[in-house]
């Protein structure tokens, strides 16, 4: 599969299917592999683009994140759309990917048709997120299965990816990050998806996101944690597909 150079960095992407574009945005320790259960289903009706954001997977490594790293990710997303000649896309994002999708919809409304925002965040919930990040980091570094998953996603850079995430989200200098004021500028339809048992962000965070958006649906999943598309893949994919079909003009093929 091909690479493309965007904003001076080499980025790995996969593109399959035909029709309106749907771009998949992974979370802060994952890669495009995270969407492996969703891609085949979505590609039956859409042109699906899944990419490893810079610093992840098979894209060019990035050792440290700036305090405004998510703004950099929004710029990378738009640059990727330009490089692939995609004028407008639906965005499906998880966690950091959901934040990127919402920020892109607010800042570049002509480029975003609709958004599926799974486990979104728009500020640092200091009561829950930094402690949960620290706990997960400690657990993951002692878990052979989680370390193996990081290696599958990122090769020899797996621990570096995990450490970079831990360092940013447990750094008090980052805790002033807040893009919640941008939500009212998101004019496209948004499906907000949140697991009731999410250990990083409470249900109230997703409710705030949904309430401040112009056109939103809130889908809460009892008994589900931070990654609905991994914990309930069939249910998530079915609901996301229905939403995308409702708000796009898919190919009839």
Domain ranges of the chain: 3-124+178-247
Average pLDDT, stretch 159-185? 97
Give Cβ neighbours of residue 79 (< 8 Å, ≥ 6 apart). 6, 7
Give domain 3-124+178-247's CATH architecture.
3-Layer(aba) Sandwich (3.40)
Band of pLDDT at residue 1, cut at 50, 70 and 90: low
Residues 47-67 have a mean pLDDT of 94
Is residue 172 pLDDT above 50, yes or no?
A: yes
Determine how many CB atoms are found less than 10 A away from the CB of residue 109.
14
Q: Which of 2-6, 115-119, 215-219 has the lowest mean pLDDT?
A: 2-6
Residue 22 β-bridge partners? 48, 90
* Residue among 250, 247, 203 nearest 224 (CA): 203
> For the whole model, what pTM was predicted?
0.96
Q: If residue 84 lies in a helix (H) or strand (E), which one and from where to where? A: none
CA distance 156 to 147: 11
Helices and strands (DSSP H and E) totals, the chain: 9, 8
For tokens 């592999």, name the residue: 33
Position 75 scores a pLDDT of 97
* Separation between Cα atoms, residue 122 and residue 206, nearest integer Å: 9
Residues 6+ apart with CB under 8 A from 46: 17, 18, 19, 20, 21, 22, 90, 244, 248, 250, 251
């Amino acid at each position: 599969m091909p690479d493309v150079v965007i904003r001076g960095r080499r980025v790995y992407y996969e593109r399959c299917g035909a029709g309106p574009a749907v771009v998949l945005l992974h979370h802060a320790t994952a890669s495009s592999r995270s969407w492996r259960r969703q891609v085949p289903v979505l590609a039956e009706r859409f042109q699906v683009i899944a990419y490893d954001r810079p610093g992840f997977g098979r894209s060019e490594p990035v050792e440290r994140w700036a305090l405004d790293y998510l703004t950099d990710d929004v710029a990378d997303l738009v640059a990727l759309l330009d490089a692939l000649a995609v004028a407008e896309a639906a965005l499906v994002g998880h966690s950091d990917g959901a934040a990127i999708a919402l920020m892109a919809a607010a800042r570049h409304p002509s480029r975003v048709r609709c958004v599926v925002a799974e486990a979104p965040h728009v500020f640092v919930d200091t009561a829950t997120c930094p402690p949960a990040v620290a706990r997960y980091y400690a657990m993951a570094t002692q878990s052979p299965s989680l370390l193996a998953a990081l290696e599958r996603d990122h090769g020899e850079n797996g621990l570096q990816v995990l450490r970079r995430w831990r360092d940013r989200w447990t750094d008090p200098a980052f805790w002033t990050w807040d893009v919640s004021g941008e939500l009212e500028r998101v004019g496209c339809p948004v499906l907000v998806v949140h697991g009731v048992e999410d250990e990083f962000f409470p249900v109230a965070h997703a409710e705030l996101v949904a309430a401040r958006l112009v056109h939103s649906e809130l889908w809460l999943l009892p008994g589900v944690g931070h990654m609905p598309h991994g914990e309930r893949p069939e249910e998530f994919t079915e609901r996301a597909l229905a939403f995308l079909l409702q708000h796009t003009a898919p190919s009839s093929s």
